[in-house]
Every structure is written in C-alpha cells, then in structure tokens.
Amino acid sequence: MKKKKNILNYQDFKRIITRIAYEIIEKHKGIANLALVGIQTRGDFLAKRLADQIRDIEGTKLPVGSMDINMYRDDWTKISHQPTVRPSNIPFSVDEKNIILVDDVLYTGRTIRAAMDALMDFGRPARIELAILVDRGHRELPIQADYKGVSTDTDPADMIHVHVREHDKEDSVYKELS
C-alpha cells in the first residue's frame, strides 16, 4: 500500500483562494479587463471560487470560462486512444483581455502549454497569467505560475490528488508517495 501525505485541507483551500484573489486584485490594481478561464476538470471549479471571492471583495463578478485541453495535449495518445473531450465554455471574447488560466496542479508545464494553444483558438488575449493551487516542480517547459497556492517537493513518480467539493465532495490535496 502506498503512503499518503496530506498537503491541504478545507481551511487551507479557503485561505489560498482568498490570498490569490487579493494578489490578483493588487497586481492589476482592480479587476478591469480581467477574466478567468479554468482548465477542466478541477481548475474550472477553482476559477469559479476565485471569481466568487473577487466578487465578494470588489463587488463585481469577473467573467469566467472553462476549457477542455485534451485535444491540444502533446501526449494525448499516451493517455488514451479515445480521450474524453468535454465542451469548452468561454462565454466572452478573450480578445485584448487579461486572462488568468486557473489549474489545480502545475507539474511539467505541458498542460499549461496546451491550454495556451487552446485559448488562442478563442482569440488574442492582451496577456495570459497562471494561477495554480499546487506547484510540484519538475518542469519540462519554461512555465511558472503568477499566483500559487503551495509548493511541495515531489518525486516524479509521486502522485498529487486534488479533491474539490463540487466534484469530489471534499476539499483536500494529498501526495501519494512512490
């Protein structure tokens, strides 16, 4: 049986979402021309939470979209011969907007590269930033988060499991040690 190490709990999630919301507002001196796009499956739930927190602080809700990036991945044939493709939902123009991509875990950087490629099919943003919950290191591409919840040391064979209450009935992150 593999060992598990808890990284985040429900209270940690709340604190991280609140902190990142304030960091976004501070960096952009408000929320004008901003939008959030969550990477499915758990990044879209985190993007909605960030938008709700920013609304509570600023009194205005940001546009929020979600994006499936499976067909943009350079490794999709290794994942499955028939990857599950869900619809993307970006109900606003991304042209000349400051877009913050939101994802749960940053690892090699390949998911984010795929997300940027997918986003470009929707238009030309003024700027793309990245907000993530967990940075586990081991980058293969020169991609870094602008807003980060926590960093954790991992072995490449370790697994990071993110659970969000909207999808998994709880908020938690744990590391499964190799």
- What digits encode the pLDDT tens for the residues 138-166? 999 999 999 999 999 999 999 999 999 99
CB atoms within 10 A of CB 157: 8
- What digits encode the pLDDT tens for the residues 15-74? 999 999 999 999 999 999 999 999 998 999 999 999 999 999 999 999 999 999 988 876
Q: How far apart are the first and last CA of the chain?
A: 10
CB-count exposure of residue 117 (10 Å: 0-12, 13-18, 19+): middle
- Quote the pTM value: 0.93
The CATH number that domain 4-176 falls under is 3.40.50.2020
- Locate the domains of the chain by residue range: 4-176
Q: Which two tokens stand for residue 108?
A: 């090699």
- What digits encode the pLDDT tens for the residues 1-22? 678 999 999 999 999 999 999 9
Looking at the chain, list the stretches that DSSP marks H as alpha helix, in order from N- to C-terminal side. 10-28, 42-58, 76-79, 110-120, 165-168
